């Protein structure tokens, strides 16, 4: 409903009252989207907690290897290589 009202206000033009309503509706849409995203994230964490994901050791190992591959070992300064 909010998305439909926003597109209708976009079509009507740039009247000041319409612009304020458009801003208000856009803000509400953003707030609802953010709230929905937060709820979904919390539900996924709750599911993970109750199901006790069997792949957690696998994912921990995967992230550890990614962290190691992203580590900076040497820095090149004016042609001189320095070990960090």
User: What is the distance, to the nearest Å, from the Cα of residue 41 to the centroid of all Cα atoms in its chain?
Assistant: 10
Q: Which helix (H) or strand (E) holds 74?
A: strand 74-77
Q: pTM higher than 0.95 for the full model?
A: no
- Where are the extended beta strands (E) located within the chain? 74-77, 80-83
Domain of residue 39, residue span: 2-83
Tally of domains within the chain: 1
Q: What is the largest CA-CA distance in the chain?
A: 63
Given pLDDT bands bounded at 50, 70 and 90, which one contains residue 14? low
Q: What is the pLDDT of residues 21-52, one digit of tens each?
A: 777 878 888 888 888 888 888 888 887 777 77
How far, in Å, CA of 1 to CA of 3, rounded?
5
β partners of residue 77: 80
Residues in the chain: 84
């Amino acid at each position: 409903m909010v998305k439909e009202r926003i597109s209708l206000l976009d079509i009507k033009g740039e009247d000041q009252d319409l612009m304020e309503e458009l801003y208000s509706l856009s803000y509400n849409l953003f707030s609802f989207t953010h709230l929905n995203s937060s709820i979904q994230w919390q539900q996924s964490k709750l599911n993970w907690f109750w199901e006790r994901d069997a792949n957690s050791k696998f994912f921990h190992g995967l992230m550890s290897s990614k962290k190691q591959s992203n580590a900076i070992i040497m820095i090149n300064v004016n042609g001189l290589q320095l070990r960090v």
